[in-house]
Each structure stands twice: as structure tokens, then as C-alpha cells.
Amino acid sequence: MLIVFIGPPGAGKGTQCRRLVELFDIPHLSTGEMLRAVMEQDTALSRYVASYINAGKLAPDHLVMRIVSQKIKSPDCAKGALFDGFPRTMVQAQMLDDLLTELKRPLDVVLELRVPDEVLITRLLKRAKIDGRADDNDSTIRERLRVFHEQTKPLVQYYGAQGKLRSVDGTESELDVLATLCPL
Ligand code: ATP
Ligand code: MG
């Protein structure tokens, strides 16, 4: 079972994915968390990654692909995986398709969490106070939303054309969103 989960920053991808991986018993592959783990080190690579993320930009495609392709080939992912916040660009989506074709493991479904920008800004500013993530501040949040509309939103059309897209309203409560994502 291979699932892609896309949505704007602050849509609640991480929250929903933590519940979905328990239900489906597959690993959670959050590129955001993997990149934050890289940033915790004190290396040239970590400073390179931070220069993108802390400015509200996306990390470079080649770097993200290298991390993801390593993970997906590991034994933990034999039963499948839930990709959280990946792919985020058309290049990543096409590279993922190529990789999965090579591995003969097609994507099952792409879940899109939809939340209007005004709600996202409110949520992210609130999260900034709680988690203190360096990329959750007013100007970076606006840049991340702009980048989402420009680079990630086109994936909705791309996966829609493949007949794989399921869009869900992400403004409801956590449990209502979960129930819509996996109706029992
Ligand atoms: P949510 O709150 O819905 O979990 P988010 O956008 O706040 O979403 P992450 O998915 O954790 O948080 O991503 C944090 C940052 O990591 C992004 O703003 C981006 O800079 C970088 N990033 C994450 N995934 C990718 C990716 N696939 N390609 C490029 N950069 C990425
Ligand atoms: Mg997240």
C-alpha cells in the first residue's frame, strides 16, 4: 500500500498521518521531518538545507529524492508507506513515478487535504507560539503558501488525471477529518 498525502503547510498532514500509519500499519515518511533531522546536525549539508527551509523555500528536488528513494527501498517499507508532504513539485512527482515504475510498485491513492489560506495562517501562527519552529513566522508562512500554490498545487491536476486523487476538507476537527479520510 503506497499512499501520498499532500496539502498546504499547516493543513494537518502530520497529525492525520500519525493516525493513518497506525490504522494501516505502514511507515510514515515525512520529508519535512527527515529534513528537520538533517538540520539538527552541524554540517555543511545541514546549513545548506536550513538556508532553504528557514526562508520558506522547498529543499532541492535532488536532495529530497535521494532521501526518499533510500527509504522506500528499505525493508521497513516492504508492505508500503505513507508519504507525508512528498512529492511537493512536479519534478518530484515525475521522479517518484519513475522510481515506482522501476520498483513495480504503483501508487494506490493520493489524498489531498484542503484548507483555505486564512485558516492556515491562523493555525501556523498559533503553532509558532507552541513549537517554536524556525519556519513558522509571518513572512516565512506567506512565502510557504505562495510556494505551495505555485509548485505543489499543480500535483492535484496531475494525480487527478491519473485517477488517483481523493480530496478531503481539512477544516473539520481532527477526528472528523480522519473519518472522512478512511470511512469505516
Ligand atoms: P503540515 O503542518 O501540514 O504537516 P508543513 O508544510 O508545515 O506541513 P512539513 O511537511 O514538515 O511541514 O515541511 C516543512 C518544510 O520542509 C517545508 O516548508 C519545506 O521547506 C521542506 N520540505 C518538506 N518536504 C519537502 C519536499 N518534498 N520537497 C522540498 N522541500 C520539502
Ligand atoms: Mg508536517
- Ligand with an atom nearest the CA of residue 12: 1
Does the C-beta of 88 come closer than 6 Å to ligand 1? yes
Q: How far apart are CA 94 and CA 36, in angstroms?
A: 24
- The domain ranges of the chain are 2-181
Extract the C-alpha cell encoding 118.
486564512
* Active-site residue set: 13, 88, 127, 133, 144
| pLDDT for position 41 | 96
Helix pair 154-161, 90-102: axis angle to 10 deg: 30
Ligand 2 ion: Cβ-proximal residues, 5 Å cutoff: 14, 32
The protein residue whose alpha carbon is closest to atom 10 in ligand 1 is 32
pTM value surpassing 0.85:
yes
Question: Which of 28, 35, 62, 150 for mutating ligand 1's site (highest number of atoms within 8 Å of CB)?
Answer: 35
Per-residue pLDDT of the chain (184 residues; tens, 9 = 90+): 999 999 999 999 999 999 999 999 999 999 999 999 999 999 999 999 999 999 999 999 999 999 999 999 999 999 999 999 999 999 999 999 999 999 999 999 999 999 999 999 999 999 999 988 889 999 999 999 999 999 999 999 999 999 999 999 999 999 999 999 987 6
Instruction: Specify whether the CB–CB gap between 83 and 171 falls below 8 A.
Output: no
Name beta bridge partners: 30. 84
Look up the CATH number of domain 2-181: 3.40.50.300
Q: Retrieve residue 99's grid coordinates.
A: 522510481
